[in-house]
Amino acid sequence: MAYISKNPDPLLQALQQCDHQLELWLSRSPENVRLLVQNPAAALQAAHLDLSRDAMIELIDVLTALADKLDLTLPESAGAA
């Protein structure tokens, strides 16, 4: 049985508060998705999310580590038409 904490992670709480905002920003352009994969810090700033500085830094660290672990690199021509 999975353990469910009574004290949710602050990053998860912050993401729940701005997930619609990020989803909308990503849906506007393939370039936004590309930016998130290539440079999470720049993407999160460009999306103008309502996140605290600490949450933003933690999210950037998580996204960068995840992209590195999954080797999420996009070919130069991806998304270009």
Q: DSSP characters for 5-68?
A: -SS--HHHHHHHHHHHHHHHHHHT-HHHHHHHHH-HHHHHHHHT----HHHHHHHHHHHHHHHH
Give the global pTM. Answer: 0.62
pLDDT tens track, the chain, 81 positions: 455 556 678 888 888 888 899 999 999 999 999 998 888 888 988 999 888 888 888 888 887 888 788 876 655 544 444
* Residue ranges per structural domain of the chain: 23-69
Rounded Cα gap, residues 63 and 58, in angstroms:
9
The two three-digit tokens of residue 77, written as one number: 């021509």
